[in-house]
Amino acid sequence: MEKLVIQGRTRLEGEVTISGAKNAAVALIPATLLIKGVCTLENLPNISDVQIQCEILKDLGATVEWLDPNTARIDTTNITSHKAPLDKTSKFRASYYLIGALLSRCHNVEVGLPGGCNLGARPIDQHVKGFEALGATVDVATGKVVAHADELVGASIYMDTVSVGATINIMLASVFAKGTTTIDNAAKEPHIVDVANFLNSIGADIRGAGTDIIKINGVEKLKSNSTYSVVPDQIEAGTFMLAAMATQGDIVLKNCISEHLDCLTAKIIEMGGKVIESGDEIRVTCDKRPKKTNIKTAPYPGFPTDLQAQMGVVLALAEGTSVISENIWESRFQYTYELIKMGAKITSQGKTAFFEGVESLSGAPVSATDLRAGAALIVAGIAAEGTTELYNLQHIDRGYENIEEKFRKLGANIIRIRE
Ligand code: EPU
């Protein structure tokens, strides 16, 4: 078992380079199945979700060669199976992208049900609705997803709820579908645009990604031998911006796209922090205790649920009482019970949590209840007086590259211990 031991209280200062986006990378890797050839992906984050996605591709017959820790050359010329193994797909959520990609490539799919963080119910009915509209039969009754299509034909699909996964999955399934597919009420996250940009760069015809309506005109085939660089991770960037706020620090983030973080920047300024944007850098400084604010999570460009827990740490330390409404996942306040062990004053009921800010937190043994909760608890440990021991690190390793190394370079006293 591994744990992080964090000695607080540290003001974080210095520079940090942001990695490629996890939630783009885990979609781009299965998207290479559509190529029937070679493709090089650069700026892949070196995290376990990316490694597992590549392992599954190898199980399907692809070859994956790592040119360096962040660059993979993927050859999908010979795909020998359309069945992705349950033991691997159940380890993470984004295995659902194999359904859309394999439907496109093989017209047949057998994929174990996706796993991932326990954030409450995580239905895939909108994915299934999209595949069926394109002409597939989909069976999810047996603990796995089995889908087949004699032929995929473009259709108009209205999403009942804004879903990142369903939007990307339908894009993947419709790249070769006959005619035009329209996705109405589509998700608009930067990783949706990144996947569309990648597919368009190799010959797909996808228009409107980043807006509510995406149109996909079916094409015959995609080009081989291209190179594509994954978009910077706005959630990792946001995590470090909030770490600057929680520790009243001064952090310069390199390799990020500030427009992707507009909603967070507005909140940081509201709380009394300063944000200076310049090219692909963002500097966040905070020289006094942050002020209270209220947060309502929403699909992009609203406040991301994936930064809710990190913001919760700042609000636990802010002046006054703040309110967070979590509108995407029903079980995303589990971290608040860990923060309470560190002296935070938080009460939650259903979708709402109230944060009565305290002047300081105290180190304690705590557990990462999910990926973003884990990152938030690292920030809490750095801001807290005394020693924090953080367990359940496998959640954090799924989504953050070298996280303790990055925090160490900013001055944090943090080590990983294998017991
Ligand atoms: N939903 C449905 N039916 C569906 C799909 C989604 O009702 O078929 C609901 C969900 O229950 C949820 C809402 O729609 O209430 C949004 O879900 P979405 O499909 O957008 O989420 P996802 O694709 O499963 C991705 C990220 C999550 C992130 C959410 C929201 C990946 C691999 N995961 O999940 O990331 O929280 O979008 O932005 O892209 C994380 O990185 O820590 C993480 C959990």
CA of 288 to the centre of ligand 1 (A): 35
Distance in angstroms (rounded) separating the CA atoms of residues 295 and 313? 13
Residues 214 and 238 in one domain: no
Residues 345 and 401 in one domain: yes
From the list 211, 246, 388, the residue with the least C-alpha distance to 317 is 246
DSSP-assigned letters across all residues of 57-125: HHHTT-EEEEEETTEEEEE-S----SEE-HHHHTT-GGGGHHHHHHHHHHSEEEEEPP-----S----H
Structural domain count, the chain: 2
pLDDT tier at 187 (50, 70, 90 boundaries)? very high
* Cα radius of gyration (the chain): 21
* Ligand 1 pocket residue status of 23, Cβ below 6 Å: yes
CA of 235 to the centre of ligand 1 (A): 14
Residues 40 and 135 in one domain: yes
Pocket of ligand 1, candidates 19, 48, 91, 93: which has the most ligand atoms within 8 Å of its Cβ, to mutate?
93
Residues 225 and 237 in one domain: no
Ramachandran quadrant class, 333 (left: phi over 0; alpha: psi -120 to 50; beta: rest): alpha
| Degrees to nearest 5, angle at CA 126 with 122 and 130 | 145
Give the domain-ending residue among 201, 229, 257.
Answer: 229
- Decide: helix, strand or coil at residue 220: coil
Give pLDDT tens digits for 108-132: 999 987 765 565 667 899 999 999 9
- Decide: helix, strand or coil at residue 217: strand
First-last CA distance in the chain: 5
Q: Which residue's structure tokens are 């999810």?
A: 140
Give the domain-ending residue among 167, 195, 229.
Answer: 229
Residues 374 and 303 in one domain: yes
Q: What pTM value is reported for the model? A: 0.97
* Ligand 1 pocket residue status of 372, Cβ below 6 Å: yes
Distance in angstroms (rounded) separating the CA atoms of residues 153 and 296? 38
From the list 348, 284, 285, 361, the residue with the least C-alpha distance to 317 is 361
* Beta-carbon contacts of residue 333 (< 8 Å; ≥ 6 apart): 326, 348, 353
> What is the residue range of 178's domain?
22-229
* Ligand 1 pocket residue status of 117, Cβ below 6 Å: yes
Q: DSSP letter for 289, please.
A: P
Encode 116-171 in three state secondary structure. Answer: CCCCCCCCCHHHHHHHHHCCCEEECCCCEEEEECCCCECCEEECCCCCHHHHHHHH
- Minimum CA distance residue for ligand 1 atom 28: 306
- Please tell me the number of Cα atoms within 13 Å of 394 on its side-chain side: 7
Give pLDDT tens digits for 332-373: 999 999 999 999 999 999 999 999 999 999 999 999 999 999
% of the chain at pLDDT higher than 90: 92
Residues 129 and 211 in one domain: yes
Q: DSSP letter for 399, please.
A: T
Structure confidence at residue 116 (pLDDT): 59
Structure confidence at residue 118 (pLDDT): 67
* Ligand 1 pocket residue status of 127, Cβ below 6 Å: yes
Residues 193 and 288 in one domain: no
The tokens for 36 are: 């029937």
- Please check whether residue 35 is in contact with residue 76, taking contact to mean a CB–CB distance below 8 angstroms: yes
Residues 279 and 155 in one domain: no
Q: What is the CATH number of the domain that holds 177?
A: 3.65.10.10
Give pLDDT tens digits for 61-72: 999 999 999 999
Residues 105 and 7 in one domain: no
